[in-house]
A and B are shown apart, each in its own frame.
Chain A
Amino acid sequence: MSLSTISITFIPLLIGFILLYGTFKQVPTYESFVEGGKEGIKIAVQIIPFLVGMLVAISIFRASGALEALTNLLRPLMKAIGVPVEIVPLLFIRPISGTAALGMTSDLIANHGPDSFIGRLASILQGSTDTTFYVLTVYFGAVGIKKMGDALKVGLLADVVGIVISIIVVSVIFGAK
């Protein structure tokens, strides 16, 4: 598990390096830290309304069963283009809810086995894309951008491309089963 050793050591090393470099360059480290930190509180509070609005809409959409219906509706189409039926709900949940997607991924891995086609595809999908709605809401919300322009369209299209690529990559590397 050398990989996880790298990621475990990375943060402390980074912190140590920043502090030593700051001291070396004679930055008033503690004062700077506090000044920078103050901004963090402001930003966290500022995001609240953006995230509340978005998460309530997403929760309603999911709890009402509308998301499931949409998934069922598109299932035949997905099957026609070679997407395994089991993975379809994950495709729709991935851009809108990170925690729900993570739950679904572990569920798929538990039920189909981590080394099955579906298990591998779910693993790679989970690891290679991010929660588009959350990213846009938090980043735009924090700086008070109200007109997102093409950002959502671009983000969601990029997700579609990501899904197609992961299906191809899994099929090529591990073989379609």
Chain B
Amino acid sequence: MVNYIWVGMTIIGIIFALVNGTMDEVNKAVFDGAKEAVTICIGLISVLVFWLGMMRIAQESGLLEKLSRLFRPLVKKIFPEVPENHPAMGYMLSNMISNMFGLGNAATPLGIKAMEELKKLNGGKNSASRSMVTFLAMNTASITLIPTTVIAIRINYHSASPTEIVVPTIITTVLSAIGAILIDRYFYYRRSRKGR
């Protein structure tokens, strides 16, 4: 599916450029896109090094395990394939908590560690496991408590009440996360009926 979407976006774009005479823009887009990607990755190095360093301490001190024990009952239902005391639980939880506080910087390294552990659980295969799909579905619906960037923009444009969107955002984000889990469940049961 990714292959089709990837090729599709590129080919449709090129054909479109041929028809509409936007070839100049497309040429520029190729190099700008590549450059932006590398810039993002380089920018991630600092954050990844710092937070993965911190998280190693949290892991070795047993803090991560404590955290996962706290939320275990809820998360166990969402990720039935992950064993209770597995480090993946701790990483997934810290990822979700960071996301809730709008700490995207801290959330990404934790999410990556969680994916690493989930891959180990899946026997190191290079295809996505059920838990990975669930985890990413929840991540794209990103539960946010404080949408800081949006509040900043609203202050910037003189909103009468910049933070009035906080509660609606929380309601929306929780409902869409529930929606994401339900959609994920639907596809899982469809897969298992087909016997994969």
Contact = CB atoms under 8 A, between A and B. Distances in A.
Interface of A: 1, 3-4, 6-7, 10-11, 14-15, 18-19, 21-22, 24-25, 27, 29, 32-41, 43-45, 47-48, 51-66, 69, 95, 102, 105-106, 109-110, 113-115, 119-120, 123-124, 126-132, 135-136, 138-140, 142-155, 157-159, 161-162, 165-166, 169-170, 173-174
B50 to A, nearest CB: 7
Contacts of A110: 157
Contacts of B158: 114
Contact of A10 (B42, B101, B156): B101
Contacts of B133: 149-151, 154
Contact of A37 (B49, B159, B161): B49
B30 to A, nearest CB: 6
25 contacts: A3-B163, A22-B60, A34-B53, A40-B49, A41-B48, A43-B109, A45-B41, A62-B29, A105-B153, A123-B169, A126-B147, A128-B176, A135-B140, A136-B136, A140-B128, A143-B116, A144-B119, A145-B128, A148-B128, A150-B191, A154-B187, A155-B136, A155-B180, A165-B172, A166-B168
Q: Which DSSP category, helix, strand, loop or mixed, fits chain B's interface?
A: helix
Closest 7 CB pairs of A and B: A36-B56, A127-B147, A59-B33, A40-B48, A114-B159, A63-B29, A40-B49
A1 B100 CA distance: 18
Contacts of A25: 60-62
A165 B140 contact: no
A146 B9 contact: no
A123 B179 CA distance: 20
A15 to B, nearest CB: 7
B86 to A, nearest CB: 16
Given A60-B29, A95-B140, 11 more contacts: A22-B61, A33-B54, A60-B10, A64-B29, A127-B149, A128-B173, A150-B184, A152-B1, A157-B183, A158-B140, A165-B175
Given A36-B55, A139-B115, A169 B26 contact: no
Contacts of B159: 114-115, 119
Contact of A136 (B34, B140, B161, B172): B140
B32 to A, nearest CB: 6
A34 B54 CA distance: 9
Q: Which DSSP category, helix, strand, loop or mixed, fits chain A's interface?
A: helix
Contacts of A35: 53, 56
Contacts of A155: 136-137, 140, 180
Interface stretch (B11-19, B68-76, B77-85): B11-19
B33 A6 contact: no
A115, A136, A174, most chain B CB atoms within 10 A:
A115
A2 B126 CA distance: 45
Contacts of B53: 32-37, 40
Given A18-B57, A158-B176, A114 B162 contact: yes
A158 B183 contact: yes
